Structure 1
């Protein structure tokens, strides 16, 4: 699953500036073409009680971005982290994020929304906690809208709250399901996978089954399936998709193909590629090289109505702290040559 680079447009949208580090970006696009990106920083590292979420925007060409500003910065010793941006089917922009407080042992999922994402200064709702009924939960990736209209939000979780920031081997993979456009959520799934299992993503296959991919520390992604729209899941198993234990991205494109953005190295966060699959993930073709450097990670992406793919990732969080945007097409991925 390695490939070669093709022509595309690459923009450096932010560096850490006076911040000590930054990374973990999200991207979304409004109907008028306005682009949004969120990422987080704060304190000397991630995780830290001083972590907070930043937001920036662009008029639509992807080249000139506003200076990022804090959008979620909880008081006290509560950290905010892992933002996700997502337009729901009605056009409302969601900012999902997590909060954690070690003193209170609170580990929760939150969201805020706006109806005017076309504006450079949208009006955000008050943040609200998404009640999941578990003592430890967080999420990173965008929801998936099923063919039934239900929304699935991938959520790693645990049966008890840890003493530190992370759970470790006891972490499970689940989904929050909403049948009322995000007004309420039910929680399903307790999928086990190798240590450091987190940051799951879900696509609906053409046969109606749901395919969950899971980041693990085992050198490959793991998978689980659901035949009842996310209520129950199969026991997890390894895939053949090599990954060093880092965030990946998978989404169905308007063409029907699956887009996978991944680091095909079992041990190191080096080089990021985009792949396509015509057969619901049974196989992926040659990859388009998005960034060949070391310390590249955490892709997120969105497709425009015209078919362009806007993909964002970070590079060297504690060094320059780059947030990088690549703009490319399916045709460029298809033209990539194996090597």
Structure 2
């Protein structure tokens, strides 16, 4: 199918290939338009030699380069490809090895001979491709350095910078970020990431804006007013994300994009007695299980990051509902089955190619038109099944690498009243084998400070109630705490009462519309079959990003096989 496409055909995200490596530093665009993504094959502990896939038709189709490159004895993710310097035309890359960090330079093109010079005795991991500043002639390369902080070994974000086209380098360290504390609702600390995996945007006037992965609920931000030589102490940004990598991308027309996982994991569980995991997974020195890497998002700004549009799911993990999620595909190349990590290039006509994800069964090369981020409406009636929904549950017991196996969650059933249609059945089937057994369903739409969200549902007679939350980030379908972070939430009893007041009628399809004027400051009006409910839904948490998710969930404490049905959903927003 991808081979029949033209670039002009693509609007919403389309998968066109699979990167050969974790997707944060291997994608490169050559001056003649050829696209390459470098990487390696084999097992994580026994990788192949370095090679690449390439495309000469704007990413629509890809081929593997044969034979494999022979100038590297082995390959790993600390070896990004050479990038062409706009200052000299040379191809420059930084790589890390056991002896330290090195700069490689070719004056003969990307495939030419590279000289190699050591620039630091420090091994700097997670190196990204060079960033060439526009407000001054300086090259930046970000990465992370391992260091001791008390008894802990942590990663500290750092930036190499060069003012002579990469011949000489200095290294700046970003102040260490916060430590995650074990406070309610957590029973232990998260994996301690002290502000790492930085991405940088150069703003008008030369200020540099850095976003960093942390263990907290937000990406943290740091700023530099001297071209990257010094950085401010990291502080919370407006973007939600936990233990996942952000990526800035500047388009040729100066619009700024952010790719990141706008997601929040389940609260941490006390696994001190779990004999199946290592000691460092129990005390926060390593992750025990990831529960927020199933969706990656995109947003766009036309004013240098002051305001943002979109907050849309660019890609959902295709394995997210699989029963053998934790072990499928083995340990080929990457252990994490996630869609976090990303990199982008701009194609002719302003389309964007994004490399994203980690494990070979999950990662993807995706093309989309940034105009898609400006849409103001989205609707779904399950004609495409659950491809745009998150509904899964976790099976207790960590398997494989930091993962639970999955249960698909609530079923799509034949619509009881409309032949050929489907409806999603939300229930509570008690199952002690699951981490959380209440049914839930999560759906994304374009973010709106102002908007209307509509759902057509039916309470089944004998059901025990449910909840609808409007929120500004992805939460797990089974997360019963999502309501505490929602802007607006509506809880209904099994017999249809809302706040003790009769409102819904079991056995009848009804349309619920939520209308909010400002997610930063105002209440939300609820309409049932076009009639206003007696009182508004109060704003529980302001959101400057706007609402972009609905989170359905059963509220039944006991087993509820009746539950409620969802027929269709629709959102209309204003930027």
TM-score where L is the length of structure 2: 0.48
2:94–2:101 CA contact under 8 A, matched in 1 = no
Counterpart in the other structure of 1:29 = 29
Counterpart in the other structure of 1:297 = 340
Where do 1:169-248 residues align within 5 Å?
A: 169-194=153-178, 195-196=192-193, 197-248=195-246
1:225–1:233 CA contact under 8 A, matched in 2 = yes
Q: 1:123 to 1:135 in 2, by over 3 A?
A: closer
Determine helix, strand or coil for the equivalent of 1:287. Answer: strand
Determine helix, strand or coil for the equivalent of 1:254. Answer: coil
Cα displacement (A) at 1:216 = 1.4
Q: 1:323 to 1:229 in 2, by over 3 A?
A: same
1:200–1:215 CA contact under 8 A, matched in 2 = yes
Q: 1:113 to 1:10 in 2, by over 3 A?
A: farther
Which structure carries more strand by proportion? 1
* 2:122 paired with 1:135: yes
Aligned equivalents of 2:70 and 2:238: distance in 1? 38
Q: 1:142-183, CA deviations, whole angstroms, 9 ceiling, x for partnerless residues?
A: 3222211111111322456xxxxxx96532222111111111
Cα displacement (A) at 1:97 = 3.5
1:39–1:82 CA contact under 8 A, matched in 2 = no
Q: 1:23 to 1:187 in 2, by over 3 A?
A: closer
Aligned mate of 1:56, from 47, 53, 56: 53
Aligned equivalents of 1:239 and 1:223: distance in 2? 6
Aligned equivalents of 2:154 and 2:30: distance in 1? 38
Aligned equivalents of 2:239 and 2:295: distance in 1? 15
Aligned equivalents of 1:243 and 1:254: distance in 2? 27
Counterpart in the other structure of 1:12 = 17
Aligned equivalents of 2:70 and 2:152: distance in 1? 26
Determine helix, strand or coil for the equivalent of 1:206. Answer: coil
Q: 1:278 to 1:61 in 2, by over 3 A?
A: closer
* 2:275 paired with 1:275: no
1:14–1:322 CA contact under 8 A, matched in 2 = no
Q: 1:165-221, CA deviations, whole angstroms, 9 ceiling, x for partnerless residues?
A: xx9653222211111111111112342113323211111111321111111122321
Determine helix, strand or coil for the equivalent of 1:333. Answer: helix
What stretches of structure 2 of length at least 5 have no aligned partner?
A: 1-9, 179-191, 266-291, 321-337, 377-445, 448-547, 549-575
Counterpart in the other structure of 1:262 = 260
Counterpart in the other structure of 1:116 = 109
Aligned equivalents of 1:37 and 1:274: distance in 2? 21
Where do 1:73-152 residues align within 5 Å?
A: 75=73, 80-85=76-81, 86-89=83-86, 90-100=88-98, 106-111=99-104, 113=106, 115-117=108-110, 122-126=111-115, 128-132=116-120, 134-146=121-133, 147-152=135-140
Using CA pairs under 8 Å that are at least 6 residues apart, name the structure with larger relative contact order, 1 or 2: 1
Q: 1:72 to 1:137 in 2, by over 3 A?
A: farther
* 2:366 paired with 1:326: yes
Cα displacement (A) at 1:333 = 1.9
Determine helix, strand or coil for the equivalent of 1:331. Answer: helix
Cα displacement (A) at 1:287 = 2.8
Determine helix, strand or coil for the equivalent of 2:76. Answer: strand
TM-score where L is the length of structure 1: 0.78
Determine helix, strand or coil for the equivalent of 2:63. Answer: coil
Aligned equivalents of 2:304 and 2:363: distance in 1? 30
Aligned equivalents of 2:216 and 2:48: distance in 1? 28
Q: 1:96 to 1:329 in 2, by over 3 A?
A: farther
Q: 1:9 to 1:142 in 2, by over 3 A?
A: same
What stretches of structure 1 of length at least 5 have no aligned partner?
A: 16-21, 101-105, 161-166
Q: 1:13-45, CA deviations, whole angstroms, 9 ceiling, x for partnerless residues?
A: 357xxxxxx5335212112210010234443x3
Q: 1:95 to 1:190 in 2, by over 3 A?
A: closer
Q: 1:159 to 1:270 in 2, by over 3 A?
A: closer
What is the number of residues matched between the two proteins? 305
Aligned equivalents of 1:32 and 1:6: distance in 2? 24
1:72–1:80 CA contact under 8 A, matched in 2 = no
Q: 1:88 to 1:124 in 2, by over 3 A?
A: same
Q: 1:114 to 1:304 in 2, by over 3 A?
A: farther
